[in-house]
A and B are shown apart, each in its own frame.
Chain A
Amino acid sequence: MNSTDIDIELARYSDWAFTSSVVVLVLALLLLAVELAYSRGRKVEARELVGVGADSATPGIVTTADTRTVDERIGRAGVALTYVGIALLAACIVLRGVATSRVPWGNMYEFINLTCFSGLVAAAVVLRRPQHRGLWVFVLPPVLVLLTVSGKWLYTHAAPVMPALQSYWLPIHVSVVSLGSGVFLVGGVASVLFLLKMSPLAQRDNGFGRMLARLPDAQLLDRIAYRTTIFAFPVFGFGVIFGAIWAEEAWGRYWGWDPKETVSFIAWVVYAAYLHARSTAGWRDKKAAWINVVGFIAMIFNLFFINLVTVGLHSYAGV
């Protein structure tokens, strides 16, 4: 699984796919933000109801198919571009893998790309309904920040991985952890929006307040946060356990309180607290959401601070 032959040509295509993906996602974000900022209230939903009537072929109701407003078209184009961006990121990851003949998550650059991809796919699944479209405006910025940091500061040339990473646990452990982290990211954003929606900010009659008012209602946001978190919690837990099994094989112990292990433990405990809070009277709404946000911060901290600042066994490829 580790070849020293690198296909430079393919690696370059992978880099192009990465850059295109970032550019396309930025464009998508702009379009979606325009729709969220300028769409006029609840009109969109009213029209959709009529549309449903037409689909069910009820006699007597005739609707012209193409009466979408400009901002709705812009929003739809934004979502379409987002899907294109996700596909380009997938191409970037796959081409890396083919170019290096190994799984394409052997260093921080590749790992963050994979985590962002997981987050985007999770968001695409959760936000598949048109009325959730506005939430993309809040999912894309953290992803774009991660991708920019990854591409600008953590970029690593396509190369074989170091001996410690040459294990069949690399594809298993890293992909599972990325999936968990990516899905936690979506849940974290939903909880942040839930808190904003519940805060006095949402009542104000300024641009931000009106924009918050256009988002799906607080209950739905809370449900998205909960659903994504109960999915990500066991996935991430399995990721940590696979990591422990690998650590036993590679480092001589299953758990050694390496900084990365410690912060993963912290994040997992925080998410466990979130799940308990959800089933405890008096903690359900805002307090639980705050806990989820703390978990989100712990995950981000784990991704950046621990890998890039502290020196531990998870510091790879010179970063």
Chain B
Amino acid sequence: MSVFTKTWALIRNTWRTLTSMGTALVLLFLLALAAIPGALLPQRSLNAAKVDEYLVEHPTLGPWLDRVQAFDVFSSFWFTSIYMLLFISLVGCLTPRLAEHIKSLRAVPVPAPRNLSRLPKHHEAEVAGEPGELAASIDGRLKGWRRTIRTDGDVTEISAEKGYLREFGNIVFHFSLLGLLVAIAAGKLFGYEGNVIVIADGGPGFCSASPAAFDSFRAGNTVDGTSLYPICVKVNDFDADYLPSGQAVTFAANIEYQAGADLERNSWNDYRLEVNHPLRVGGDRVYLQGHGYAPTFTVIFPDGQTRTSTVQWRPDDPLTLLSSGVIRVDPPAGTYPDPDERRRQQIAIQGLFAPTEFLEGTLLSSSFPALNKPAVAVDIYRGDAGLDTGRPQSIFDLDPRLIGQGRLNREARVNLGVGEEKRLEDGTTIRFDGAVPFINLQVSHDPAQIWVLVFSLTMMAGLVVSLVVRRRRIWVRMTPAPAGTVSVELGGLARTDNSGWGDEFERLTDRLLTDGGRHS
């Protein structure tokens, strides 16, 4: 054998193996198996902080898992290769079947086997009448079957077959799966989603015209951020209702938005944004995804100038909305002519916020998620709050290095209720003014998601058809018998779903042969 023949044989055999049902089964299993770590291990796409936590807790195992992409299962090379192989196998298996199915649509039912009594289902009867008439009558009763009548001498044979739709449904199901995959991939390529926190006080809000407007932004490979659909949103208020147990009953934000032509006219539309009721505008969706509180502090500097700041704090306990965060305040311009000196006089307030104060001694926690009795427990720092370091930092935490290096020093630790204040040694006064709710908005854009829906529906339709329709073949052979009767022989074959075929065949023979095949 030449090298060419050998290679060709290898390719052909590999292709045959890949497209065989056994391989498809193994690949299906591998796919199920490969998805398991995605359910058991924390995933970056869902919660990156959890992954970091896991890596800290498992210093030896963690990095190895990370190396094999166990924290990014659904975008990992092995998960991708399994489903790509599965889809190649599917195309390889289904394309010839599609061709065969198209051919079979024009095919005539096959002639009857010589010995009908060898078929799994068989019936014989003597019927009064004449072969031609009987054949026409039986043929009429086989409505819905594809059938043909053949005559050979005085023997008349009917071949009938039904259930072609089964294979059609099967093919539709599998090709829809393919379409589904393409639609999902397109959505991932051309889609984006961004999250932004907006304080619910009727303030300026935000416009989704550039990724910079978002606190976090995840985009597909083709999205460069220059052609986002602009939507502007102002949040006027936010209501939440709770049961006495603290369980939430409703979340709703009254927003105003503008998009499309509104932007030129500068007209605003009202919308009540609720969970399960996203704002759909221009193919984009705006969701209410979370909420929390933004406490307000006023710093009164010794010279009487004041600075007020409201900053969102991070909800740490989803049930009671006990939150933590930090507020950084720059001294008023002109107080310290030397910029270095000014940088050393910044005020930072870090600590806990409780919407409903619950004290154990001086330890603050929250007993209820609504703003019933807001209180804070904070450390007040003076020094370099990190505003001018130029380093990216968390808006919820002070950089511990600044405290460690002595550039930021704690001046006081206090519990404050609304309107209460703390006076520092130099006369600076810090007042807690209360809190306003903020909401977390998500703007999502996925041009292909409608196709994902369409393909999943055609997939299910194909599946149901392929499970409900059964393939059946029957043959009727009529031979003239003495004394004006016809000897009828029936044979039947279930090509799929054998169960129940026995009863079905009996009912069918009854129906075909009642009244000697004649319509009454």
List B contacts of A226 (CB < 8 A): 499
Does A163 lie within 8 Å of B40, measured CB to CB?
Answer: no
Residue of A4, A241, A272 near B460 (CB, 8 A) is A241
Q: Number of residue pairs across A and B with beta carbons under 8 Å? A: 117
Q: How large is the interface on A (under 10, 10 to 19, 20 to 34, 35 or more residues)?
A: 35 or more
A163 close to B449 (CB less than 8 A) = no
Contacts of B442 on A, CB cut-off 8 Å?
252
Residues of A within 8 A of B452 (CB): 254
Query: Which of B22, B275, B287, B449 gathers the greatest number of chain A CB atoms within 10 Å?
Result: B275
CA distance A262 to B184 in the complex (A): 16
A283 to B36, CA, bound (A): 24
Of the stretches B248-256, B263-271, B348-356, B357-365, the one at the interface is B248-256
Tell me the B1-60 residues at the A interface (CB within 8 Å): 21-22, 24-25, 28-29, 31-32, 35-36, 38-40, 43, 45-46
Q: Within 8 Å CB of A250, what residues of B?
A: 275-276
Beta-carbon contact of B249 and A163 below 8 Å? yes
Interface size class of B (residues with CB under 8 A): 35 or more
Q: In the docked arrangement, what's the CA distance between A239 and B165, Å?
A: 24
Q: Which residues of B contact A266 (CB under 8 A)?
A: 32, 35-36, 39
Tell me the bound Cα distance from A312 to B42 in angstroms: 10
Within the complex, which residue of A166, A244, A280 is in contact with B276, where a contact is CB–CB below 8 Å?
A166
On whether A163 and B45 interact (CB within 8 A), knowing A234-B460, A273-B25, the answer reads no
A265 near B248 with CB under 8 A, answer: no
Interface pair B276/A234, CB less than 8 Å apart: no
Question: In the complex, A67→B446 CA distance in Å?
Answer: 70
* One of B74, B275, B446 near A257 (C-beta < 8 A): B74
Given contacts A160-B243, A237-B463, A273-B28, whether A310 and B248 have CB atoms under 8 Å apart is no
Closest chain B residue, CB of each to CB of A253: B444
Q: Does B464 contact A (CB under 8 A)?
A: yes
Write the chain A residue with the least CB distance to B274: A163
Contact of A163 among B22, B36, B193, B276 (CB under 8 A): B276
* A269→B21 contact, CB < 8 A: no
B319 (CB) vs chain A CBs: closest residue: A318
* Residues from chain B with Cβ under 8 Å of A245 in the complex: 453
Nearest residue (CB) in A for B245 is: A159
Interface residue? B487 (CB, 8 A):
no
Q: Which residues of B contact A217 (CB under 8 A)?
A: none
A254 and B449 form a contact (CB under 8 A): yes
- Indicate if the CB atoms of A249 and B276 lie closer than 8 Å: yes
Q: Which A residues from 1 to 32 make CB contacts under 8 A with B?
A: 2, 4
Q: A132 near B: Cβ within 8 Å?
A: no
Which residue on chain A has the smallest CB distance to residue B27? A273
Query: How far is A83 from B68 in the complex, measured between Cα atoms in Å?
Result: 52
Chain B proximity of A157: nearest CB distance (Å): 9
Instruction: List 5 A-B pairs, minimum CB-CB distance, nearest first.
Output: A262-B39, A273-B28, A163-B275, A167-B276, A269-B32
4 further A-B pairs in the complex, CB-CB below 8 A; given A162-B249, A251-B289, A265-B35: A2-B250, A253-B444, A269-B28, A283-B25
A-B contact pairs, 7 of them (CB 8 A): A162-B247, A254-B449, A257-B45, A262-B38, A262-B39, A263-B39, A265-B35
Residues of B at the A interface (CB closer than 8 Å) are 21-22, 24-25, 28-29, 31-32, 35-36, 38-40, 43, 45-46, 73-74, 184, 193, 243, 245, 247-251, 274-278, 285, 287, 289, 442, 444, 446, 449, 452-453, 456-457, 460, 463-464, 467, 496, 499
Interface residues of A (CB under 8 A from B): 2, 4, 159-160, 162-164, 166-167, 223, 226-227, 230, 233-234, 237-238, 241, 244-245, 248-259, 262-263, 265-266, 269-270, 272-273, 276-277, 279-280, 282-283, 298, 306, 310, 312, 317
